[in-house]
A and B are shown apart, each in its own frame.
Chain A
Amino acid sequence: MTPSEPKITPELVAEHGLKPDEYERILKLIGREPSFTELGIFSAMWNEHCSYKSSRLHLRGLPTKAPWVIQGPGENAGVIDIGDGKAAVFKMESHNHPSYIEPHQGAATGVGGILRDVFTMGARPIASLNALRFGDPKHPRTRHLVGGVVSGIGSYGNSFGVPTVGGQVGFHTRYDGNCLVNAMAVGLADADKIFYAKATGIGLPVVYLGSKTGRDGIHGATMASASFGEDAEEKRPTVQVGDPFAEKLLLEACLEIMEAGCVVAIQDMGAAGLTSSAVEMGAKGGLGIELDLDNVPCREEGMSAYEMMLSESQERMLMVLAPGKEEQAEAIFRKWGLDFAIVGRTTDTLRFIVRHKGEVKADLPIKELGDEAPLYDRPWVETPRQVPIDPASLDITATLPGALERLIGSPDFASKRWVWEQYDHLILNNTAQRPGGDAAVVRVEDGPKGLAMTCDVTPRYCEADPFEGGKQAVAEAWRNLTAVGARPLALTDNLNFGNPEKPEIMGQLVGCLRGIGAAAKELEFPVVSGNVSLYNETNGRGILPTPTIGGVGVLDDIAKMATLDFKANGETILVLGVTTGWLGQSAFLSEILDREDGAPPPVDLALERRTGDLVRTLIADGLVTAVHDVSDGGLLVALAEMALASGIGASLAIPSPEMNPFAYWFGEDQARYIVTVEGSAKALVLRRAEMAGVSIAKLGTTGGDRLNIPGERPIVIDALRERHEAWLPIYMGAGLM
């Protein structure tokens, strides 16, 4: 019955995404020609997605440790101690290539994959976030991608039952041929009950759990490790199909089986499916694994060993069970209506052996499959520095109110309500800060503790100066967590770049990683998990470098959480931090003057830390009534967002008459927050800022229903809101409801 296997030819090797020198490496490693199944296994383990062969060298420089880090990079997700015996488990992962080919299923399975990574570690998912980047709204494919990705994320998370509480949506022509879908999940576990992939014990059963294996997603990880040409559509069969119902059952069954003490090691079948999960469990534990594919539950008839080993069918897990627990584990899985099959054993041989219909289809050294994957020190060049923009050199015909109105109604700044209203963001009844704020806040069990979470990056900055851009992405995530009153604890990074074989792209990756490392170190905000997505390139045109940072912090008492809406009339509005009027790479420059140039704003990490630490204590001490970080769009956009969230306006002053007003209001200097204070607290806040060595200046006073800038026409909040809310629903052809 076994169809004869293809002969190994250079063409076949190339089709598997393996370079000739990589194939030579395989020959040297095993001392013979690989079988067809073995070639498939190598291609799955050695592609960029699974092996990090271009980035590994540079990832080593990232700070990954802190006293509260329980598990750093290298497992399914990072784990941090949040006190009271609890741990937060989180990671972000991309599903860019599949989402471009088939947006609904691509995005849905991206969510499914990251949720599985989190509950594989024994954590119940409590929140989901996503960072999305699409092409120019005028590009013919963009609307289709937005609609499909949003419905895919919603359909998976809503059915699975995790609140989707936050994220980012941005547009830029450089994503025309490659959209980005970065999904993040956060789970909660008992700090002493974390489960790992490392197998221990010889002769123990290796158990297959979850959905059946089909022919979907074969070579998905290899597809995700290549650039697109004109043939992207033809890759549709490599996209998997998600089943959130199966995943929900898998979650409940896995947590139940863990609670019952049945599990020694567990690994989800994500990219490269059965291959990568089995190899990882064995290699991490210093054990061999023998699989007998005759026992693998299959959805389709006549699947070959090659197909089973490379399938990326979703909602599957591999476990090593504790001795004597087979029956109990099986009963739990049957109760949830899931497949349960013993498909192998652990051995002491350090070999990865795959049998099918009595034949040995693969016999490979297990450790070397991972450890001996190619590691490249790819050539790279530094991105040329750009000079700062002198505001006096700009020819600006817009008015301040006119520029604000255009910005607030532009694709990047317009309300994303149309998106997040399609996500159930309230399920589990713990969402203390809903979408639209600086960071989402989710209560931990019955409180009073809460976790704050956010996704951030400014790709324009990263393109202009990868080092400063990398720093800024980390600093902004840290700042957003701080702005709700949380203590930032750790981050996950999702590094999206073009083709690393081009020295200038590799230079972006290296620069961003250095920047991320520098900021993570200075802010004591270590990297505990992450994902690298390269080859985001179509017909030779790469995306903007986009290292998305997912940050997590803790609030000791969510009753003290800060929000960004103005709270009352007559309160004093203050800005903390230094305003120099930095316009290089600003949203103002891009949206109003249609130019993306100049050096991006530098991040002074010591100042960032000093300012953030001050803001956090002001919030904890109840001295400020509203807090908002100042990011792209500058002071005026931040003020408008505070007014839009509350319906309360403000009378503003211009404290620096010598500064260009556009630079002052729209400049994007870093390390700044806007706060409001009641009259009685003002003197104390000013004194605290002085003691902390943080600049503070009065911006104005809250009140009325409009924003008043001296000498300018008033900006009516309701009219501004109409612009803010209109763009996305109208773009999606949905009307305003």
Chain B
Amino acid sequence: MKSAVLVFPGSNRERDAARALERVSGVKPAMVWHADTALPAGTDLVVLPGGFSYGDYLRCGAIAARAPIMDAVRAHAARGGLVLGICNGFQILCESGLLPGVLVRNARLRFICREALLKVERNDTPFTRRYARGAIVRYPVAHGEGNYTADAATLKRLEDEGRVLFRYVMPDGRRDDAQVLNGAANSIAGIVSEKLNVLGLMPHPENHVDPLVGPTDGRALFESLVGALEKA
């Protein structure tokens, strides 16, 4: 699997993403600078890491979405290439038009860093094939603006097309939109593009891959990607 991790000024989980990719796939990803205009030849997977790109003093991800490298990412996605945006990466994907909707400030207006329980809604995607359908997994969240929102028509379309891939759930596995930790519409934690090749996800699977520092529920997401690319 040939992967590329984008580095914007202010990215800060790029090392975590690279480490998780290397740990699971055995291959070091290329680190690609925001000012570059092309991805390394043969890139299978592009990862947009977490952080505060350009300080996120404007709308989160708004400036990064206009960085020179993003044209190459759009072209890669249009070709059906895999794209994973985590946290700030999800925000950038929304701002760049690769995914619908937007992430606004958490409902309680505070940054939240804690483990969240997520339901894997489907396992027939390149990101989730190593999970059981309906599995409940634990990934940490670390965001101030992870409150996913979109207009009613978009939400309906996402639901009808089965594009909500990860959803926040309560300890008993039920979804409770009134209690969801950041206020996200329909308890949405992660959505995919129509062609299922672009995933935007607020929680951090890359921080749950190593038993020495916590749970390992995030591993299967990276293993899914390795598996999907081996098959391809």
Contact = CB atoms under 8 A, between A and B. Distances in A.
Interface of A: 151, 154-155, 158-161, 243-246, 248-249, 336-337, 420-432, 443, 447-448, 558-559, 734-735, 737
B10 A248 contact: yes
Given A159-B10, A245-B9, A248-B12, A426 B212 contact: no
Given A336-B9, A427-B12, A429-B19, 12 more contacts: A155-B111, A160-B12, A161-B51, A248-B12, A421-B114, A424-B142, A426-B142, A431-B213, A432-B213, A447-B212, A558-B212, A734-B108
Q: Which of B9, B108, B114 has the most CB of A within 10 A?
A: B9
B142 A427 contact: yes
Nearest to B20: A429
B210 A429 contact: yes
Contacts of B72: none
B212 A154 contact: no
A154 B114 CA distance: 14
B110 interface: yes
A423 B113 CA distance: 6
Nearest to B10: A245
A245 B142 contact: no
Contacts of A425: 113
Interface string B101-115: 000000010111110
A218 B12 CA distance: 31
Contact of A424 (B19, B57, B113, B210): B113
Contacts of A337: 9
A519 B52 CA distance: 43
A337 B53 CA distance: 13
A426 B207 contact: yes
Contacts of B210: 429
B154 interface: no
Contacts of B110: 151, 422, 734
A423 B144 CA distance: 10
B73 interface: no
Nearest to A450: B212
Q: Which 8 A-B residue pairings sit nearest by Cβ, starting from the closest?
A: A161-B12, A245-B55, A159-B52, A424-B142, A429-B16, A424-B113, A422-B111, A432-B213
Given A421-B114, A422-B112, A245 B57 contact: yes
Contacts of A420: 113
Contact of B206 (A249, A421, A429): A429
B179 interface: yes
Given A558-B212, A559-B212, A159 B142 contact: no
A426 B57 CA distance: 23
A161 to B, nearest CB: 3
Interface of B: 9-10, 12-13, 15-16, 19-20, 50-52, 54-57, 108, 110-114, 140, 142, 144, 179, 181, 204, 206-207, 209-210, 212-214
Contacts of B56: 159, 245
A392 B50 CA distance: 59
B124 to A, nearest CB: 29
Contacts of B54: 245
Contacts of B144: 158
9 contacts: A151-B110, A151-B111, A161-B12, A244-B52, A420-B113, A429-B15, A432-B213, A443-B213, A737-B181
B12 A426 contact: no
Nearest to A423: B113
B55 A243 contact: yes
A461 B54 CA distance: 46
Contacts of A735: 108
Contacts of A421: 112-114
B55 A422 contact: no
A558 B50 CA distance: 26
A350 B126 CA distance: 66
Nearest to A160: B12
A430 B114 CA distance: 15
B9 A249 contact: yes
Contacts of B112: 421-422
A426 B204 contact: yes
Contacts of A447: 212
A159 B12 contact: yes
Nearest to B180: A737
A447 B212 CA distance: 9
A159 B111 CA distance: 11
A737 B179 contact: yes
Contacts of B111: 151, 154-155, 158, 422-424
Contacts of A443: 212-213
A108 to B, nearest CB: 13
A385 B201 CA distance: 60
Contacts of B16: 427-429
Contacts of A422: 110-113
B185 to A, nearest CB: 17
Contact of A427 (B13, B114, B212): B13
A533 B102 CA distance: 45
Given A159-B52, A161-B51, A737 B10 contact: no
A336 B55 CA distance: 13
A425 to B, nearest CB: 6
A161 B142 contact: no
A425 B113 CA distance: 7
A248 B210 CA distance: 26
A428 B55 contact: no
Contacts of A161: 12-13, 51
B207 A158 contact: no
Contacts of B206: 429
A558 B214 CA distance: 12
A431 B114 CA distance: 13
A155 B213 CA distance: 24
A426 B210 CA distance: 12
Q: Which of B20, B50, B111, B179 has the most CB of A within 10 A?
A: B111
A498 B102 CA distance: 50
